[in-house]
A = this chain, B = another copy of it.
Amino acid sequence: MHDSDIQDQQRDQRHVARMQRKKALIDARIAEASAERGLLLVNSGNGKGKSSAAFGMLARALGHGLKAGVVQFIKGAATTGEEAFFRRFPDEVRYFVMGEGFTWETQNRQRDIEKAEAAWAVARELLGDPQIALVILDELNIALKHGYLPLERVLADLAARPPMQHVVITGRGALPGLIEAADTVSDIALVKHAFQAGVKAQKGVEF
């Protein structure tokens, strides 16, 4: 047998031993996690993927035959691909685009507050419907950060939702009180972005 063959064999054996230890640890942790309940998930941070991750979960939920609702608190200039796509399934997804634009486009605090209140009224309806397994509140963090909606009221309505309903909230600058109330929180950091290299927002990627 060649030296290199022996080395390969030793490497494979070490791999098996390491993976056996890992499997034992992971299996034990999975056995411990036995609770099931509706989760509150928050996707925040400055990187790309906060809303995309919510819409990936939406696809996932639809694949399991679940029903879902979406409220977009900030409407971009163009109709988004996700809106065009998920509107294909009106029996499975209730889809609402409520905001009027980014805060620096509207430049009108009173109107932004009115729009946020109207969006929350729709969100409350979804949060009151036990038939809806997943509610996405896209860019709600922006409305909370600017004080367009009071966090206490939002948290109270979230706490009163059906026990098995999952909620995903997205947007930069999640408030500490929301993070505390959440079950799963991802902070998506920007390592780099094509925009920094002069690439414009492209369909299928950014919208």
Q: Which residues from chain A sit less than 8 Å from chain B, CB to CB?
A: 11-12, 15-16, 19-20, 22-23, 26, 29-30, 32-37, 39, 41-43, 45, 47-64, 66, 80-86, 103-110, 133-134, 166, 179, 182-195, 197-205, 207
Contact B84 A63 (CB under 8 A): yes
Give Cα distance in the complex from A126 to B85, angstroms: 22
What are the residues of chain B within 8 A of A37 when measuring CB–CB? 199
Asked if B47 and A198 make an inter-chain contact with CB atoms under 8 angstroms apart, the answer reads no
Closest chain B residue to A166, Cβ basis: B205
Q: How far is the CB of A17 from chain B (nearest CB, A)?
A: 9
The answer to whether B110 and A12 have CB atoms under 8 Å apart is: yes
B-chain residues with CB within 8 Å of residue A182 when the two chains form the complex: 192
Across-interface contacts of A66 in B (CB, < 8 A): 203-204
Chain B residues contacting A11 (CB-CB under 8 Å) are 109
Q: Can you list 7 A-B contacts (CB < 8 A)? A: A23-B107, A30-B201, A34-B198, A35-B198, A47-B188, A184-B205, A186-B189
Partner of A56, one of B39, B54, B188, B200: B54
Bound together, the chains give a CA A133 to CA B33 distance in angstroms of 39
Minimum CB–CB distance from A128 to chain B (whole Å) comes to 19
CB-defined contacts of A12 to chain B, threshold 8 Å? 109-110
Q: With A26-B104, A48-B184 in contact, do A57 and B189 touch (Cβ < 8 Å)?
A: no
Which listed residue (B39, B43, B51, B187) contacts A199, Cβ 8 A?
Answer: B39
Report the minimal beta-carbon distance from A119 to chain B, rounded to whole angstroms.
19
**A198 cross-chain contacts in B, Cβ below 8 A:** 32-35
Q: In the assembled complex, which residues on chain B have CB atoms less than 8 Å from the CB atom of A82?
A: 56, 59-60, 63
Partner of A189, one of B34, B189, B201: B189
